[in-house]
C-alpha cells in the first residue's frame, strides 16, 4: 500500500547503537509492537558501533525471542554516529527506510506522524518541539543548525533530529560521504540536489533514562564542520 492508503509496503528501521544493550531490552519489543501498524513487512538493522556491553548479541537474542527480522552490522571499533547511520542505511534494502537513535529520547511510535506525509514527500523528518538535553548540547545544536543552514542554504528547522523516513528509491540514488553527525544535513542536501522534496513535523523529545550520552564533544564537532565544507564544494 501507499502512505495515503495506510501501511507502507515494507520498512527497514536503522538503529545505530553504542553500548545500548540496556535500552534495547525495552526498545526492540516496543519496535515490534509499533512497526506492524506502519508497514506490511518490516525489519530492523542494528549497527553495533564498537560496543563493549554485548549490544549486538543482546539484539540478536531479543529478536529471536520476538520472531523479528534483524540484521546486525558490527563495527569492531567505535566509528562514530555518522558512520553507524550510513552503514545502516546502506544495509537497509526494503521499500522505505527509517532511522532513529537507540537511546529512547525519540519514540518510534511517532513515526506514525511521519509516514502519512510520504505521499507528498521523498523524505519526512521530525523536529524536536522541546529539548530534553543539557543546556550545552542545546546550544551546540543551535549553532550547528545555523551553520548548516548558512552553508548549504537548506530550509530545515532541526537538522539533527534523528527521526527520519525516506523512500528507498531516493536513498539509493544518494552517495553519502559523511562519517560524522553531519550525515543528517547531508541527507537533506542530497534530497534537494536530486530534485526531491522533504518535510518536517514536530515530535516530542524525551529524557534519556538509561546508558550514557555520547556526542557533543569537540573533536566530532570539528570533524562535522570540516565535512560540511567538503560536502558543500564536492557536490
Set out the domains of the chain in order of their start, with CATH numbers. 7-234 (3.90.550.10)
Tell me the mean pLDDT in the region 154-172. 94
In angstroms, the CA 213 to CA 211 distance is 7
Give pLDDT, residue 145. Answer: 75
Match 553507524 to its residue by C-alpha cell.
Answer: 84
Q: Are the C-beta atoms of 31 and 13 separated by less than 8 Å?
A: yes
In angstroms, the CA 198 to CA 58 distance is 35
Which uninterrupted H or E stretch holds 7? none
Q: Residue 134 — very low, low, confident or very high, per pLDDT cuts 50/70/90?
A: low
Give the mean pLDDT of the chain: 89
Q: Which residues of 98-134 are buried (b: 16+ CB within 10 A; e: fewer)?
A: bbbbbbbbbbbbbbeebbebbeebbbbbbbbeeeebe
Q: Is 216's pLDDT higher than 60?
A: no
Q: Is 231's pLDDT higher than 70?
A: yes
Give pLDDT, residue 144. Answer: 76
Give me the percent of the chain exceeding a pLDDT of 90: 69
Amino acid at each position: 500500500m501507499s502512505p495515503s492508503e495506510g501501511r507502507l509496503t515494507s520498512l527497514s528501521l536503522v538503529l545505530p547503537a553504542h553500548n545500548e544493550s540496556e535500552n534495547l531490552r525495552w526498545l526492540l519489543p516496543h519496535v515490534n509492537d509499533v512497526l506492524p501498524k506502519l508497514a506490511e513487512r518490516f525489519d530492523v538493522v542494528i549497527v553495533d558501533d564498537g560496543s563493549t556491553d554485548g549490544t549486538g548479541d543482546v539484539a540478536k537474542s531479543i529478536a529471536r525471542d520476538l520472531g523479528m527480522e534483524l540484521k546486525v552490522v558490527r563495527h569492531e571499533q567505535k566509528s562514530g554516529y555518522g558512520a553507524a547511520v550510513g552503514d545502516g542505511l546502506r544495509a537497509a534494502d526494503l521499500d522505505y527506510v527509517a532511522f532513529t537513535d537507540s537511546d529512547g529520547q525519540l519514540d518510534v511510535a511517532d513515526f506514525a506522524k511521519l509516514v502519512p506525509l510520504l505521499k507528498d514527500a521523498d523524505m519526512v523528518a521530525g523536529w524536536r518541539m522541546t529539548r530534553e538535553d543539557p543546556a550545552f548540547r542545546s546550544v551546540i545544536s543551535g549553532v550547528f543548525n545555523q551553520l548548516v543552514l548558512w552553508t548549504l542554504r537548506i530550509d530545515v528547522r532541526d537538522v539533527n533530529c534523528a527521526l527520519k523516513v525516506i523512500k528507498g528509491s531516493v536513498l539509493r540514488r544518494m552517495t553519502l560521504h559523511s562519517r560524522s553527525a553531519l550525515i543528517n544535513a547531508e541527507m537533506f542536501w542530497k534530497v534537494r540536489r536530486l530534485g526531491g522534496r522533504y518535510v518536517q513535523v514536530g515530535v516530542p523529545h524525551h529524557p534519556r533514562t538509561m546508558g550514557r550520552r555520547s556526542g557533543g564533544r569537540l573533536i566530532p564537532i570539528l570533524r562535522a564542520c570540516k565535512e560540511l565544507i567538503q560536502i558543500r564544494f564536492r557536490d
